[in-house]
Amino acid sequence: MREAAASNQPDDGTGRLPVRATGRGGMVATDPRLQALSTLVHAGEQEPEEQGFDFRTYWNVIHKRRWTVVGAFAIIMLTGIIATFLTTPIYRATAVIQIERQSLQVVNIPGVEPIDAPYDREFYETQFQLLTSRTMAEKIAGELDPSNPVFDVMGAPSLWQKAMELVMGEAPPMEPAEEAVYKRRRLVGLIRGGLEVDPIRNSRLVRIRFYSPDAPLSASIANSIAKGFMDANMERKIDTSSYAKTFLEDRLDQVKLKLQDSEKALAEFATRERFVNIGNRETLLSSELEALTSALTSAKTSRIEAQARLLQGRGSNAMSHPAMLQNAGVQALRVTRGKLESEYQEKLLTYKPGFPLMQQIRSQIEQIDKQLAAEVQMVRNSLTANFQAATDQEALLQEQVALLTDDVLSMQSRSTDFTVLEREVETNSQLYDALLQRYKEIGITSNVDANNISIVDPALQPSRPFTPNLKRALMISAILGLMIGIGLAFLFEYLDDTLKRPEEIEKHLGISVLGVIPKLSGATPEQAQVDPRSAFSEAYRSVRTSLQFSTEDGVPKCLLVTSPSAAEGKSTTAVTLARNFAQLGRRVLLIDADLRNPSLHRMLGTDNTVGLSNYLSGKIRPAGSIKGTKTPRLTLIPSGPMPPNPAELLAGPKMLSLVSLASEKFDQVIIDGPPIMGLADSPILSNMADGTLIIVESGISRIATAKGALKRLYAARAHVIGAVMTKYDARIAGYGYGGYGDYLYYSYGGATPKALTKN
């Protein structure tokens, strides 16, 4: 019948039979049947659309897993409280000291007292390491009583050490000397373990903290470490000054003898060689030679300048020579000649050159030219005389420099020993002065009681334990508990691969959701159906309405109701839909085709001694298997006795004949099939039915199982019209009509059912 119905559908031009698949609103869309399986395979591979942060989604996860969050929170809080009360109280005492880069500088001793810097990380890190050093701990341990019971509490073995002692056995007893050494080392370790050095940022202050189970002991050790560190620093400074003073005394005696010997040798040499030391260790000849050399340089410069002026005066442009320009007679003659020349040129416009007046002016110009030539010659003679004088002076100085140079070179050839002796005297003198100055300064500072370490705040006896802090422990436990609880909630949600919401069915399976059935609380489906205003009844009526629009012809004439796994509510859905269609006045036949685990006869209160299995085995006719029900117009064919071979019976021709006959006699045929996975029954029935409705239980049906079930149906050429999600927890939604956005259901009086029975 299923193939016959399919054969009446139009071909799409590709040679493949089309099938009907419903959209979200119940509208019909035709797709090639053989492409449905490929659509399912690739449905899960499609990447979801990117969405922004949705607070409601995360809140729903937390609300759903609230008991996980509450449980983790309670466990962490309880653990924190127990650990707090079982922890030994620890008291913290704090002393504050100030560490300067150097002490107060009464005198500055370069090399012994370093120059201060704004912040020397290496210096301060060294001081912190000295504070926590083993030597400092040993110094403090020498002032304490090792038999103090507080140290036994501080050095109590851990649980791991106790366990190792139980396994390995107790250590053999120690000798008194060994025990004393052991206690001393343990005490040093306890002091170093309880000490904390905390520098204050952007300052030269340092906190010295000590932790112990005894408040007076914490304050005492903190103060002892601060004072011991200050004393140790002072001792190091005194030792350094004492060593430097002794060393300088020895060096001064040695350098003093060397200085005396070198001075004596220098004096004897100067007397013998007649050397005179003038200021900067130059002899008289050297000074005189330097002066003559400077004068010779000046004479050469003057001679060169005079020669340049002379050559310029002899040139064609001699009138531009500075000497000519500075000569008053020359300039006056040039001015007069210029006026006459101008007058001559002016009158030349009126008179001819032979005119007496013109000849007179020309005669005056010639007379001035003669006078001007005489003045120029006088200037040139003066330049020549100056040049000759400069040349003579240079020659004379050159001769004197040559003579004196010979004397200086002769003297320098004999002055090597004097220079060496003089340099040795100067070096020894400087070294002696420096050592003597350093020795006097160290002698002064050795008596100055200055320390770069000072105690700012001594440690006070703490009035209450530092740890455990109940308020802080509770806060940390609460935050940690919430974080772990929420993390576990999201982890469990991530690991939960079940179908929980209707849109997940559309996303992962690629089929429409025809309805969402809420949970019921404290009532059976039969009790819930008594009240037609309940959300349970309204949900199934919504499914019925969706089925009426699932195909072009309305509700499939023969509808198979199945599920991927058992106990997902398929039998309840089949019975409820049958009753709803019967209430519309239709003649409905309900067939219990689950020959392995039948349940419809119990739900409808009928006998199951004779049923579908008897007919399929050929023992009775179809009419002999039909049973009446309490619901008008609703007829039931129970499963009958369980056969050994259900799949063979359902695949035989009698089942197809029954479906065809029932579709002609009744307005609606609903088949309650067995689960899909692991059985061949439902794929066989889906090929005979006009439509298959898959039932998915919210939070139980796994995605992989549902995909596998749908693939089996498509492989059997089933017409899957959609899915119904059952046992949906409506408490996560509000009131209103159902929708795929929030999945709300309208309920009279605001009642929200909570639980649905299995199957």
What percent of the chain has pLDDT above 90?
Answer: 24
Token match 């004999």: residue? 414
CA dist 628 and 152 (Å) reads 89
Q: Is the pLDDT of residue 29 over 70?
A: no
What are the extents of the domains in the chain? 59-85+470-493, 284-414, 498-750
What's the whole-model pTM score?
A: 0.50
CA dist 418 and 395 (Å) reads 35
Q: Is the pLDDT of residue 11 over 80?
A: no
Average pLDDT over residues 357-384: 73
Average pLDDT over residues 36-44: 43
pLDDT at res. 10: 36
Is 349 in a helix, a strand, or coil? coil
Average pLDDT over residues 729-756: 43
CA dist 256 and 151 (Å) reads 61
More confident residue, 753 or 715: 715
Q: Strand pairing partners for 205?
A: 98
pLDDT at res. 637: 94
Listed residue (12, 49, 202) closest to 119, CA to CA? 202
Cα distances (Å, whole numbers) of residue 1 to 29, 309, 331, 686, 713: 22, 137, 143, 11, 17
Joined together, the tokens standing for residue 111 give 């090399």
Instruction: Specify whether the CB–CB gap between 682 and 713 falls below 8 A.
Output: yes
Q: Is the pLDDT of residue 665 over 70?
A: yes
CA dist 501 and 498 (Å) reads 9
CB-facing half-sphere around the CA of 428: CA atoms within 13 A: 20
Instruction: Specify whether the CB–CB gap between 584 and 545 falls below 8 A.
Output: no
Least confident of 101-110, 184-193, 355-364, 706-715: 101-110
Q: Is the pLDDT of residue 319 over 90?
A: no
Q: Is the pLDDT of residue 144 over 90?
A: no
Using pLDDT thresholds of 50, 70 and 90, give the confidence band for residue 349.
confident
CA dist 461 and 217 (Å) reads 8
Average pLDDT over residues 667-683: 91
Residue-wise pLDDT tens digits, 417-436: 777 777 888 888 888 788 77
Phi and psi at residue 258, to the nearest 5°: -60, -40
Cα distances (Å, whole numbers) of residue 307 to 132, 300, 304, 391, 759: 87, 10, 5, 9, 134
Residue-wise pLDDT tens digits, 212-260: 888 888 898 999 899 988 888 887 777 676 767 677 777 777 887 887 8
Least confident of 70-74, 399-403, 416-420, 707-711: 416-420
Instruction: Specify whether the CB–CB gap between 22 and 721 falls below 8 A.
Output: yes
CA dist 532 and 547 (Å) reads 19
CATH of domain 498-750: 3.40.50.300
Q: Is the pLDDT of residue 732 over 70?
A: no
Q: Is the pLDDT of residue 455 over 70?
A: yes
Residue-wise pLDDT tens digits, 374-398: 666 676 667 777 778 888 787 887 8
Instruction: Specify whether the CB–CB gap between 61 and 417 falls below 8 A.
Output: no
Least confident of 322-326, 381-385, 665-669: 322-326
- Written as one string, the DSSP assignment of 108-136 is --TTTSPPP-S--HHHHHHHHHHHTSHHH
CA dist 590 and 670 (Å) reads 5
Q: What rounded mean pLDDT belongs to the chain?
A: 77
Is 329 buried (19+), middle (13-18) or exposed (0-12) by CB count in 10 A?
middle
Average pLDDT over residues 148-169: 63
Long-range CB pairs of 702-708 (<8 Å, 24+ gap) are 702/497, 702/498, 702/499, 703/44, 703/497, 703/498, 703/499, 703/504, 703/508, 704/497, 705/564, 705/565, 705/677, 706/499, 706/505, 706/508, 706/509, 706/564, 707/40, 707/44, 707/508, 707/509, 708/564, 708/677
Token match 């659509």: residue? 39
Using pLDDT thresholds of 50, 70 and 90, give the confidence band for residue 3.
very low
How far from each other are the two terminal CA atoms of the chain, in whole angstroms?
A: 29
